[in-house]
Structure 1
Amino acid sequence: MFFYAAKIGWFVLQPLAAILLVVILGLLALALGRARLAAGLIALSVAALAVCSLTPAGLMMMAVLEDRFPRPELPDRVDGIIVLGGAFDTRVARTRGLTELNDAADRVTAGMELARRYPQAKLLFSGGVAALLEEDIPETEAAEVLYIGLGLEQDRLLLDGRARDTFENAVFAKELAEPVAGEVWLLVTSASHMPRAVGCFRVADFPVLPYPVDYRTPSGPALYRPSSTTIRNLEKVHFAIREYLGLVAYRLSGRTDALFPSP
C-alpha cells in the first residue's frame, strides 16, 4: 500500500505537476469570476517556476542532502558491496532490448570499480520493478548482463529483483547477503539518496559503510551559480523535493530511524 500511495502522491506533488495544477486552479477561478484569486494563483505559479528554473535553489537543496554523508576512507577489507537500483532505464530495456544507463550510472560503475578493488567481495545489486502502471523488467536483468559483460564472476554477483523502494532494498538485501558480525558491507547509492538509504538499512538492522556517488552539485562558490540550462535547475529542485518528502514519509511510517539520518 505504501508503494502505491508514494507513487501517486509524488505524481501530484512533483514541482512541474504542482505548478500546472495551480495554473489550472487559477483558470478555474477566472472562469468562476474570481479574478483576484485567479491572478494570485497564476502569479504564484509563475513565481514558483521562476525560482525553480532560474535560481540556485535546487542546487542548495541538493547540496544539503549530498553533504550529509561524506565519502569514507576505504578499509583494507570489504566483504560485500551493495549497489541500489535506479541507474537503469528499464523502459528502454523492455522496449528496445538494450541495457541503457541513466543519469545515476555512477551507482553501477562505482560498484564495478569497488568489486575490482576488492576481488574477494560479493557484489549485491538490488532493484526490482519500480513502475506503477507498466510492467517494466526488473533492473536486475540489465544489471546481470552489464556486470557479467564487464568481467565480474557470476559466483560473486547477488541479485535482488524484488525490491520496489528503498526500504525493500534494505530488507531484501539483508535476506540475500546474510551478513554476520564483523563483516564490512559498502552501500553504494546516489549522494542525495544516501540519508534515506542509511536510515532504512539501520531499521533493517544491516550495518553498512555508506559510499556515496552520483553527485549532482558542485562545491564552493559554484554552488550559488545556477546553470544556464534552466531545465537542469528545475531538475535539481525536482529531485531534492522528492528526497525531502521521502525522508518525511519514511520517518512517519517507521521505515527510517531518524527524520534526517546522519553518520
Structure 2
Amino acid sequence: MFFPLSKLLGFFALPSNVVVVLGLLGVALLATRWRCAGARLAAASLVLVALLGWSPLGNALLIPLEERFPAVEPDGAIAGIVVLGGSITPEVSGARSSVMLNEAAERLTAAAVLARQYPDAKIVHSGGDAAFLLPEGNESVVALRLLADLGVARERLIAEDRSRNTVENAVFSKAIARPQPGERWLLVTSAYHMPRAVGVFRAAGFPVVPYPVDFRTRGPQDALRPFPSIGDGLRRTDTAVREWVGLLVYRLTGRTDALFPAPAGR
C-alpha cells in the first residue's frame, strides 16, 4: 500500500507537475463563470514556471542535502558496498541491448573504482523495477552486467532486484548482505539522496558508511547561481523538493531515524 501512495505523492511532490496542473485548471476555468479566477491561475502558473526555472531556488534547496554528508575516503577494512539503483534507464537499455546510463551514472562508476580499492568487498546493487504503471525492466540485472564488463569479478556481485524505493533498498539489502557486528559497509548513492538513504538504512538496522557521489552543485557558492534554461532549473528544483518531501514523509511514517539525518557524532 505504501508504494502506490508514495508514487502518487511523488507526482505532486514535483513543483513542475503542480505548476502545470494549476495552469491547466486555470485554462479550463476560462470557459466557465470563474474565468477571472482561471486567468489568475494561468498567469500565476506562468510566473511560477519562470521563477522555478530561472531562479537559483533549485540550487539553494539542493546544497544543504549535498553538504550533509561530506565526501570522505573511508579507512580500514570494508566488508561490502551497497550501490543504490537510479543510474540506469532500464527500458531503453533493454530496447537497445546495451547499458544506458543517466545523469546519476557515477553511482556505478564509483562502485567499480571502490571494487578495485577493496578487492575483498562484496558489491550489492539494490534496485528492481520501480515503475508504477508500465514495466520498465529490472535495473540490477543491467547494472551487474556493466560492473562485470568494467572488470569486477562476477562472484563478488550480488543483485538485490526486488526493491522499488529507498525503504525496500534498505530492508532487502540487509536481508541479502547479512551484515555482522563490527563489519563496515559502504553506501553509494547520489549526495542529495544520502541523508534520506542513511536515515532509512539506520532505521532498518543496517548501519552504513556514507559514500556520496553524483554531486549536482559545486557547493554553497552555487546558492545564488541562476539557471540558463527553464528546463535545467525545473529539473533541479524537482529533484530537491522531492527529496525534502521524502525526508518529511519518511520521518512521519517512521521509516527513517531522524528528520534530517546527520553523520554519526553530530
Q: TM-score when scaled to structure 1?
A: 0.95
Aligned equivalent of 1:216:
216
Which residue identity does 2:19 align to in structure 1? I
How well do the aligned residues superpose, as a CA RMSD in angstroms?
Answer: 1.4
Q: Distance in 2 between matches of 1:125 and 1:204?
A: 17
Shift of 1:34: 2.2
2:52 matched residue in structure 1: 52
The residue number in structure 2 matching 1:238 is 238
Deviation at 1:231, TM superposition (A): 1.3
Per mean C-alpha deviation after superposition, the further-off stretch among 126-135 and 22-31 is 22-31
Match of 1:226 in 2: 226
Spell out the pairing of 1:1-150 with structure 2 (5 A cutoff): 1-150=1-150
CA distance in 2, matches of 1:23, 1:261: 36
Deviations 1:19-61 (A, max 9, x none): 1111122123322222432232123212211111111000111
Cα deviation code 1:211-230 (max 9, x no counterpart): 11000112243442223133
- Equivalent in the alignment of 1:192: 192
Mapped to 1, the partners of 2:27 and 2:136 lie a distance apart of 37
Letter of the structure 1 residue corresponding to residue 148 of structure 2: I
**2:158 aligned counterpart, secondary structure:** strand
Q: Does 1:163 align with 2:163?
A: yes
Question: CA separation in 2, counterparts of 1:11 and 1:213?
Answer: 25
Letter in 1 for 2:80: G
SS in 2 for 1:10: helix
Look up the SS of the partner of 1:224 in the other structure: coil
User: Secondary structure of the residue that 1:31 maps to in structure 2?
Assistant: coil
Deviation readout 1:87-121 (Å, 9 max, x if unpaired)? 00011022222211110001001111111011111
Counterpart CA distance in 1 for 2:31 and 2:218 is 45
Q: Which runs of 5+ in 2 are unaligned?
A: none
Q: Is the 8 A contact 2:184 2:208 kept in 1?
A: yes
Residue pair 2:53, 2:234 contacting (<8 A) in 1 also: yes
Distance, in Å, in 1 between the alignment partners of 2:93 and 2:138 is: 10
User: Secondary structure, in 3 states, of the residue corresponding to 1:72?
Assistant: coil
Q: CA deviation at 1:208?
A: 0.4
Instruction: Give me the identity figure in percent.
Output: 45
Q: After TM superposition, give the deviation of residue 173 of structure 1 in Å.
A: 0.7
Match of 1:257 in 2: 257
Most deviating of 149-158 and 193-202 = 149-158
**40-49 or 84-93: bigger deviation:** 40-49
Question: What one-letter code is carried by the residue in structure 2 that aligns with 1:137?
Answer: G
In 2, Cα distance between equivalents of 1:239 and 1:209: 23
Moved more, 18-27 or 118-127: 18-27
Structure 2 Cα separation of the partners of residues 162 and 205 of structure 1 = 19
What is the rounded CA distance, in whole Å, between the counterparts of 1:95 and 1:121 in structure 2?
A: 32
Q: The residue matched to 2:134 in structure 1 has which SS? A: coil
The alignment partner of 2:189 has SS state of: strand
| 1:101/1:204 CA distance change after superposition, 3 Å | same
Once the two structures are superposed, residues 164-183 of structure 1 have per-residue CA deviations (whole angstroms, 9 ceiling, x without a partner) of: 11010001111111111111
